[in-house]
């Protein structure tokens, strides 16, 4: 009797193997748990997602001209983003509200800054100006106008050098003299610092921290090779901007005519999407909100 049952089970197993190989495989993989013989389980036998190679994380960015980690500008150079002082800089702020910060570098410049201020004032928005100390001393009236209109002033060094080429003493001089120039005009020490062209190292970070300033980078730039006209500049910013972004543009040193022409379009388009413009400090204070 027992022998007959044994042979019967062996015959059943053989028939399963021949006619229903998937059911046999399922029986083995489930360890004999309650599964109907001949029925293929809807659950995958293996978690294929777990064995697939994961794509690499988005690599923050640096290139020979500009650093913009966590940005939308597609720069890429090695692994500087892994260094602790790069990660401690502010590139964007996680917020739920539809707010962005407009930051403006390299001024003041009498060729472009007055027009930028007029556009901001006409649209009832405020921005953060990262000013070069030497230019601020040359045009203090423009600094006063920026402040009187409700804008924020940040430190962009004294003479706009590439800080990576300087000694620790020279870096300290550039940061300190830039801050001193601003304080001599405004009566206030700047709390924000942006390194020229986005380049900085541990020495720079330490000096800025000792100066009680915060390193501020950016998320996206108005000036970009993919956008050679004011209209394309505005379209690119409008397409890519998300809440908490820090937008970078310039009002000094080089020819900024296209940037100035793009600014009112950018403001109009982002406002049409429901965005509000705030200063960088205001944006950081809204973290998580």
In the annotation, is 250 catalytic? yes
Distances (CA, A) of 4 to 16, 17, 24, 159: 18, 20, 22, 97
Asked whether the beta carbons of 208 and 193 are under 8 A apart, the reply is: yes
CA gap 76, 104 in Å, rounded: 23
CA atoms within 13 A on the CB side of 121: 12
The number of angstroms, rounded, from the C-alpha of 120 to the middle of its chain's C-alpha atoms is 23
Q: What length is written for the chain?
A: 289
- At residue 280's C-alpha, the angle toward residues 274 and 284, to 5°, is 90
**Which residue out of 70, 156, 160, 250 is catalytically annotated?**
250
Residue among 73, 105, 109, 251 flagged as catalytic = 105
- Residue 105 CA, chain-centre distance (Å), reads 17
Q: Which residues are catalytic?
A: 105, 250
């Amino acid at each position: 009797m027992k022998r007959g049952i044994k042979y019967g089970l062996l015959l059943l197993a053989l028939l399963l193997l021949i006619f229903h190989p998937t059911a046999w495989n399922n029986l083995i993989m489930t360890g004999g748990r309650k599964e109907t013989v001949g029925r293929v389980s809807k659950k995958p036998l293996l978690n294929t997602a777990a064995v697939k190679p994961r794509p690499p994380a988005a690599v923050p960015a640096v290139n020979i001209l500009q650093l913009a980690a966590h940005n939308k500008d597609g720069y890429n150079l090695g692994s500087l983003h892994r260094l602790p002082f790069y990660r401690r800089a502010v590139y964007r702020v996680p917020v739920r509200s539809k707010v962005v910060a407009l930051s403006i570098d390299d001024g003041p410049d009498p060729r472009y800054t007055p027009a930028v201020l007029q556009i901001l004032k006409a649209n009832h928005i405020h921005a953060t100006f990262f000013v070069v100390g030497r230019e601020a001393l040359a045009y203090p009236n423009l600094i006063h106008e920026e402040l009187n209109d409700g804008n924020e002033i940040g430190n962009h060094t004294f003479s706009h050098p590439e800080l990576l080429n300087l000694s620790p003493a020279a870096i300290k001089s550039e940061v300190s003299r830039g801050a001193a120039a601003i304080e001599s005009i405004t009566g206030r020490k700047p709390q924000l610092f942006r390194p020229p062209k986005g380049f900085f190292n541990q020495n720079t970070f330490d000096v800025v921290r000792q100066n009680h300033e915060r390193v501020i980078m950016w998320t996206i730039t108005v000036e970009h090779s993919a956008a050679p006209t004011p209209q394309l500049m505005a379209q690119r910013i409008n397409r890519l901007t998300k809440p908490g972004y820090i937008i970078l543009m310039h009002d000094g040193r080089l020819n900024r005519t296209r940037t100035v022409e793009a600014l009112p379009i950018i403001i109009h388009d982002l406002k049409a999407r429901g965005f509000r413009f705030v200063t960088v400090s205001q944006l950081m204070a809204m973290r998580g909100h």
